[in-house]
Structure 1
Amino acid sequence: MKILVTGGAGFIGSAVVRLAVARGHRVVNLDALTYAACLSNVASVADSPLYAFEQADIRDRAALDRVFGTHQPDIVMHLAAESHVDRSIDGPADFIETNITGTFNMLEAARTYWIAHGRPEGFRFHHISTDEVFGSLPADPAMLFTETTPYDPRSPYSASKASSDHLVRAWGETYGLPVVLSNCSNNYGPYHFPEKLIPVVILNALAGEALPIYGDGSNIRDWLYVEDHADALLLVAQQGQTGRSYNIGGENERTNLQLVQTICAILDRLHPRETGNYGDLITFVTDRPGHDARYAIDPSRIRSELGWSPSVTVEEGLERTVRWYLENEDWWRPLLARAGVGQRLGTTEKATS
């Protein structure tokens, strides 16, 4: 089986690439290598005869046609996207162009290829999305996002992903393209680009800098270890029912404050400060505009239909993640110089005026 993975040099995409190659699949990694991409994420498989890399932008239709024609994939796993909410507040245009227009180009390139090859029954277009398209949940733990939850995006990022989800469903209904979708909760783990909450907290703590928490830290997220997610994605791509969507969650709800306190406790044990505890560095900062209160996924469908459930608790996953960052400074240190990393985004006068 040959799998075309878009965004395969990113955080989640690279986990998919590594796992797919480890399982014996041929993988084509298509990535534009924008600011959050790192080829070092896939260095462990770069020399494998099962792996190929194509530097291409999903906004470039001609490049996509060339890649499809050259590699002739059996499955497309479309992960390439602009994904940082704060960046979407400051600069929404990139999110519209990549997440909406780029997905349109991918669908059209896939459809053209699929038709030209006689509409093979085994072909799949798997679109990977986010739970943020569903909006915000109240605190009631009985209320969860399901596959039928109405869309209610509240940021430029989530609106662009909601738009791409609708395009994928439309191409399935209108043109018969064999599509499958998945919406995931917040991912974390090794190779997480250092602008998201968990790596920010780990790296700021190691530097003795403030650990910023938006608002009062009460926002709740459902945390999914990235390697669990990669396992679920490959399962959905191969066995998910065409035209169906699957919610993938870690069943690990925590407030942001609880999450940061857990990271601090792990660091206190694994890498103690000379004086004081890491929790002393926690600092509450101005909340982001339109910050959703709670995300939580009901993964009943993927559990009952495909037999998948998360294998890593948030405490286990956070310890693995902290250990990985402690042992891989040569990976994260150069990334701190990339544009926007280490800066507070999403509250500029441009964004809020």
Structure 2
Amino acid sequence: MTEHPPTAPASAVLYSEEYYRAVVDRFGYSTFDLRRFDFSLAGMGYGELNLRYLCHHRADRFIATAPQRRIVTTGFGMSGPPHMASASQIMKMVRLQQGGERCQIVLGDLDAYNGRARSYGYTRELVERFRTFATRLGFDAATGVLRDQTGCSEALTTMYLLGRYAEDADFDTAEEDNHAYYAARGLVDPTMTFRRRLSLALMAADFVSLGQTHDAVLVLLGIDEHKYVRFTQHVTERFDHHVPLRGDFLLSAIYTKINTGFNGHPKSSKSIPGSGITVETPTDEIRRLVKADRATDPALSPVYQLMYQMSYTSYRELLDIHQACAEGTQRWEKEKEHFIDFLAHVKELWP
């Protein structure tokens, strides 16, 4: 029996192994298949992929597409300074880019403006800081795409065009599993309001826009966001001859595990103070949080989870650290000290 992490506040969905299995069991029987990796991608073997990611959806079909006709995309809501789990997603995009994949990062200023009701000026300020942060972490904007939503009229037009094919039920079933948790804390509207629908529709349009010029689109998201891909697939399946959009491109995904939050929270979140280590967390507090991790099961250790999510060290080293964590050896304590320095360095890259 898998040991559960510390009890989270009421209504939180814990992203445990049981949660992952429930998602796979619920959706794996249909066309929304979630599978473990048995192939290589961007120079990473299946062993490393299965450590750093949870599963994939049609990524095997993505890699069968000609490299010049495919693209990887991800995005970040500009709701607040990034936590280290967000930094890890940027690092994953850098790794994919360095492995030969064409990549896009979308900075969701309009997403946060509507979905999280942030002020427009605040989201625009975060766009510029995120842009600098991503490039400092190694993302090459010359060979890839690093853009905001405000400046992309193509995606905004696509959003309006696909709106004709979206149904009310599509939005209702796309609620994130922890929506009630966020709503209870005043972090998001409690219902699927019009502004939240706009936020979700624009995210789908970001995917569909890429499908107009590429045969295959691979979305990099956390497993808690898998419903966004499903939403987009349902809408594009209804395209007919009336819409000047192509719907027959491959929409695939690779999903990451969700980092367990510190202080009993279900995940690291920019919107929940104390749930994770952010780029603005004082170094002394980073040290306290890392040293306080006493989990002997690496699957429940927020520190080990960050280690394999981030570009901290090699796959082989991560396997050795996994054993050290499980055994509670001195090597694990020393590794945590090294990781504190690593996180402090990442923090310094935030402008």
TM-score (normalizing by structure 1): 0.39
Give the TM-score of the pair, scaled to structure 2.
Answer: 0.40
Structure richer in strand, relative to its length: 1
